[in-house]
Structures are given as C-alpha cells and as structure tokens.
Amino acid sequence: MPEHGDPILLPPSEISDATRRAEALIPTPYGTFRMVAYAGDAEDYTPHLALVHPEMDPNSEVIVRLHSECITGDLFGSMRCDCGEQLDRSLRMVQAGKGVVIYLRQEGRGIGIINKLKAYQLQDQGFDTIEANIHLGLEVDGRHYGVAQGILRDLGIRKIQLLTNNPLKVDSFDEGPIEVVRRLPIIVPPVQESEAYLKTKLVGMGHWLK
C-alpha cells in the first residue's frame, strides 16, 4: 500500500484508459489551444482536459505541465496556495514552447473541495497542510497520474520536459511508456498568505522550491 504522499504508480498495462470525447480550438489570453476532453464516461461532467498548442510536435521533447484542479486558486485567485500562479505561468511557458497542459480533475490533492475547505478551517486553527489532512482521516496526497500518461500516449507523445516542482510527479513516470527527459522548475515567490503552505511543501513534502 502507498504511504502518505506516495504516488499511485500504474504499470503500462493498467494505465487509465481515458477516452478522447471532444475537442475544439479555444482562444485564450495566452494564445489559442486545442482543448481535448478525456473521460471514461461520455456523460462525465468533469472530464480531464488537455490544452495542446496547435503546433505541438509529438516527436519532440514536449514541454508538459500536469496541473491538478484547484478551484480556489485557479478560478478565484486564492492566495493561500501557489496553484493559480503556477497555472498562469505554465500556460505562458507551454504557449511559448508549443507544449501541453493537462488539467487533472483531482481537487485538493485528491480530497475534493468540501474536504479542502474543512482542512483550511483546521489550518486556520494552527494545523499545517499535512496535519489537517491526517486529522480528517485523509491522505496527504491522494492524486494519481496514470490517466495523464494515457492522455500523453493518445496525443502521440513519448518524451517530455516535465514542468513541476513535485518529485512525486517525476517518480510517477518510472512505470509507463512516457520518458521524462528533463524537469523544468516553476517557482512562485511566497506571499504572506501562502508562506506557511509553501514551507510545508518544501519541508514536509520534499518539493523542489529553492
């Protein structure tokens, strides 16, 4: 069984089969992307999304960001975390480098928005991110990345430059067909509201933030 924070690694035969359900060109402030929706069920209300540069070359070492959903940061600009700023920078870098952002629907490191808000309440009482999740009986990091490998494989990508500070994301590719040839850092300077959170990511989760 994985320990707290360990990624769920899937052998090639068990990589999640997220099926391509729809796609369209989406103009954004960062540039135009081909947005592709993936889901096991065609009626899934929250499919995973790939934002693909129209000129992405699948035979190159593609710049890729795996970004887990963060409603508070990505949508509402919460300063309790660095997620929204990471997404902003990722979209800019992927647009410039003709890469891909994969938006994974695993809110709050896999605990969902309701539990995330409960964890925030505990953090306001003095718990750190790890302690709050454990107090609620939840995994510290329940995310998995097998579906991302399935999406990359569907896009014809075999080698990537992975845009991340998280060693678990790099390790998750140890089992599977996609090769990480390089890690690209994405450092967001802390603000007062995010300082404790980023310190926990650095010290308690081993993220590369220096």
Q: Respond yes or no: is residue 17 known to be catalytic.
A: no
Catalytic residue among 74, 80, 82, 143: 143
What are phi and psi for residue 177, nearest 5 degrees? -85, -10
- Annotated binding-site residues for GTP read 65-69, 86, 107-109, 129, 164, 169
Distance CA 113, CA 65 (A): 22
Catalytic residue among 17, 141, 154, 182: 141
CA distances from 56 to 90, 126, 176, 192, 199 (A): 15, 45, 22, 38, 35
Q: 180 is written with which tokens?
A: 């990480």
What are phi and psi for residue 147, nearest 5 degrees? -65, -35
Q: Respond yes or no: is residue 80 known to be catalytic.
A: no
Could you give the residue numbers annotated as active site?
141, 143
